[in-house]
Structure 1
């Protein structure tokens, strides 16, 4: 029997000895309970649950069944959706306006990017060698990154896309930090919250430094036993965080829950919906997007456009719909770094996304209509240009997969 078909939701007044409480109406991490799921053995535990919660879920296979009069039926979908939308709206505490254009910010962002990348590499090398996490080194890099993202969020995203390297672990940590700060900026979070999210992004998979190298670099799908071992990285990550003084409990919460999924199919605790802390839900989207757009040992990278489409297909199942929609508003239907074909047949790479014109980004033209390379790349802002050189209406026809027509943006722009 599937766990979600054997769970029943009850009011806390109906709790009795012998019941197995599998879920709460709040994250377990906000409680004093050490385990995710408990069998009630004392009146003190009942009293504690009644103080903390309005309702809980009881597993009728692992413990005593409740009296039917205490059953609490789930809220109607409309009520639940309204509450979820209000929760996302409540995140907005400020509105950040760009201070520099992307070209001006790129000059400052490049040095910051290099410094942060070096910091991540050194910190992970230390952890591989059994040394402690150097929190201050990471914080300095994160603060400089957030300054750049607040001035203009596109520059750092563009640098990440253009400076991909072979080491997935370092690049994924960098990507999660950049995207979480950029997404948080879009949502209107305050600076302290952006720092918290970015640090959590850097540390989200830090537990993988304690996994065997061979497991991390396998080029074929993991066996069920290997998958179980790989998922232990969350537990290892929490151990590293607990041994690091000065880290916010919120960072621990994000790292603990960024692999949980909206429909309960995630891990390690099969949390669902609002039981997942909202920053954990945000990091889950960011982590998945960056993983999809990165080349991993066992999977080729998807284009940013393909990854956005994948997230959109998973809204309401793996990820909260309202947050997915906000993330797509943040990065655009054709995110920075996407290869696109224009309506006149030319091929371009997206270099900037307009907040009000998501379908009309700024692009750099790479191939002519007959798919031959242009002698000189040319920047074109579709937000300001409606027609091509022949006077024909011009728009993005569609996204292209990574490597289309043999294009490697890294080779084009860095070598």
Structure 2
């Protein structure tokens, strides 16, 4: 299993375990041994990029969890939806009417991908950041769809278990399971109303007041674009996907109890996908930062806390092989995910304070309970990001208003990222 390190930490003599990809292009091939010139370019031009470095010695000493299957499933599902959405967007851009769009074809694609995910369930939602569809909206739709299907499946399975626990087997026979097709189609078309706003994704673009008005209205525009014959609930999801749990969302300021569970799922997945997107959103957040802000930090009031708890158990912010700096300046390597607490992965202490690899006899498995806020072995930094915020006192869980507030506050945003997150 390769070590996963930021470009700022690479050195001459290291070997790339996998190709360094950027927006679908191979920048450096897998297997290449880095020379001084490579290191200089990587540090100057791509300081935030992450590389996979081969470490056969550590690999022979430590048993790493294999997450390759989950990544393969995620990439397949996202790319298929991304392609379908890009096709719809292209047709919308070249036609005066959306009547020529074959939404039945889109529905068929969603059904096929849902069947693929049902046959290949994932234990963790792992995202490959090297996708490049040429369309940020299509790429975002692929990620949001995949996350919504993973979260929706987890919720559906929980509901099924609860029904089985509370109801006799005889009464359960013939019961209807939660149909995720409306959720899948809704997630696929969440931002179809953003099509007229494709210009705002240009790097460095400053939003105008007209842009802000169109952003506020894009859920309504998108819902109106979709045909009536789509399954019940699809248009509702598109129309309400920017409503917040605390009633502060737009366009209608609906509150938690009034929102369908599919809307609440879509809201979480849409926000996380936007916050962590590798392109189009300058100033993007790391998965760790986004999960923390959404689950225990300043933005948790916007999301259903129960669904957010499930979501944070599915998303793993630190990949297998991640080299994480600890508070005492030593470093540990992630070897297994912790699905109860993603911020406390199973790790092996493998590097001394001076950065040298520890000898075999000094390697030490670390338990999650060692990563307490006041421990010298607490997680401190990964990929150049200071992670001390993970140890701050969690904010109180949000309480949803019993009734909708009725009027959404003014939408004050200055960038594409702020338009979609939190």
* Residue aligning to 1:90: none
Q: How does 1:196-235 map to 2 (within 5 A)?
A: 196-209=182-195, 211-217=196-202, 219-235=204-220
Matches of 2:349 and 2:94 in 1, distance apart?
Answer: 45
* Residue aligning to 2:390: none
Secondary structure in 1 matching 2:324: strand
Matches of 2:335 and 2:222 in 1, distance apart?
Answer: 35
Q: How does 1:8-407 map to 2 (within 5 A)?
A: 102-104=67-69, 111-130=76-95, 131=98, 132-150=100-118, 151-153=120-122, 157-163=125-131, 167-189=135-157, 193-209=179-195, 211-217=196-202, 219-241=204-226, 244-295=227-278, 297=280, 299-312=282-295, 313-314=297-298, 317-332=301-316, 334=317, 341=324, 343=326, 345-346=330-331, 353-356=337-340, 358=342, 361=345, 390-394=362-366, 397-398=378-379, 400=381
Deviations 1:61-103 (A, max 9, x none): xxxxxxxxxxxxxxxxxxxxxxxxxxxxxxxxxxxxxxxx854
Structure 2 gaps, min length 5: 1-65, 161-176, 372-377, 387-422
Higher alpha-carbon deviation: 123-132 or 339-348: 339-348
After TM superposition, give the deviation of residue 307 of structure 1 in Å: 0.4
After TM superposition, give the deviation of residue 353 of structure 1 in Å: 3.8
Secondary structure in 1 matching 2:126: helix
Higher alpha-carbon deviation: 136-145 or 198-207: 136-145
Deviations 1:20-57 (A, max 9, x none): xxxxxxxxxxxxxxxxxxxxxxxxxxxxxxxxxxxxxx
Deviations 1:276-330 (A, max 9, x none): 2221112111111111101454532211101001102246621222222222122
CA contact (8 A) 2:347 2:365 kept: no
CA contact (8 A) 2:110 2:184 kept: yes
CA contact (8 A) 1:293 1:301 kept: yes
CA contact (8 A) 1:308 1:328 kept: yes
CA contact (8 A) 2:274 2:281 kept: no
CA contact (8 A) 2:219 2:238 kept: yes
Structure 1 gaps, min length 5: 1-100, 375-386, 406-415
Higher relative contact order (CA 8 A, sep 6+): 2
Paired residue total: 286
Question: TM-score when scaled to structure 2?
Answer: 0.57
Secondary structure in 2 matching 1:153: coil
Cα 1:280–1:238 shift into 2, 3 Å:
same
CA contact (8 A) 1:342 1:398 kept: yes
Secondary structure in 2 matching 1:341: strand
Secondary structure in 2 matching 1:145: helix
Matches of 2:134 and 2:325 in 1, distance apart?
Answer: 30
Deviations 1:131-158 (A, max 9, x none): 4433233333323432343323258x43
After TM superposition, give the deviation of residue 181 of structure 1 in Å: 0.4
Matches of 1:366 and 1:169 in 2, distance apart?
Answer: 41
After TM superposition, give the deviation of residue 219 of structure 1 in Å: 2.4
Question: TM-score when scaled to structure 1?
Answer: 0.57
CA contact (8 A) 2:241 2:263 kept: yes
Matches of 1:364 and 1:113 in 2, distance apart?
Answer: 32
